Amino acid sequence: MSRLMFAGFRRQFSTGRTLMTDYQSRVFVGGLPWSVRAAQLKETFSKFGPVSDVNIVTDPVSGRSRGFGFVQFDEVQHAETAVHEGNGMDLEGRSLSVQPCNIPRNRDAPAS
């Protein structure tokens, strides 16, 4: 079994390939207050649908939040709802930026 690592997520796939729906059901969340923890972010986004994983990106040296993270939903339509209804949502006095997660490009591929 191979491991895919992207933005702190570790997901195992028996085929070693990433499914497109995996990226389509993940959203980027920017503007996070530094005090927000994964459990609070999961609870906040659970109103849009079942959340399977949450990752708040931290500085590798200080361990402090970098103010953004990712929320993985069980279904693509829940991620789409989160983008449409959650963008601009207030969390602890901060306006969140909720965007679809981009599919990572192959860094070994030649530039076009």
pLDDT digits (tens, 9 = 90+) for 31-80: 999 999 999 999 999 999 999 999 999 999 999 999 999 999 999 999 99
Total count of domains within the chain: 1
Q: Is residue 1 part of a domain?
A: no
Instruction: Report pLDDT for 49.
Output: 97
Give residue 59's domain range: 25-100
Structural domain includes residue 65: yes
pTM of the model: 0.74
Tokens representing 111 are: 């530039």
In the predicted model, what is the mean pLDDT of residues 93-105? 87
Residue 105 lies in a domain: no
Task: Assess if residue 17 is contained within a domain.
Answer: no
The CATH number covering residue 54 comes to: 3.30.70.330
According to the model, what pLDDT value does residue 103 have? 66
* Tokens at 87, concatenated: 């963008």
CA–CA dist 54, 23 (Å, integer): 13
pLDDT score of 15 more than 50: no
Q: What is the Cα–Cα distance from 69 to 30, expressed in whole angstroms?
A: 7
Distance, CA of 24 to CA of 37 (rounded, Å): 23
Give the pLDDT score at 25.
94
Please list the residues that pair with 40 across neighbouring strands: none
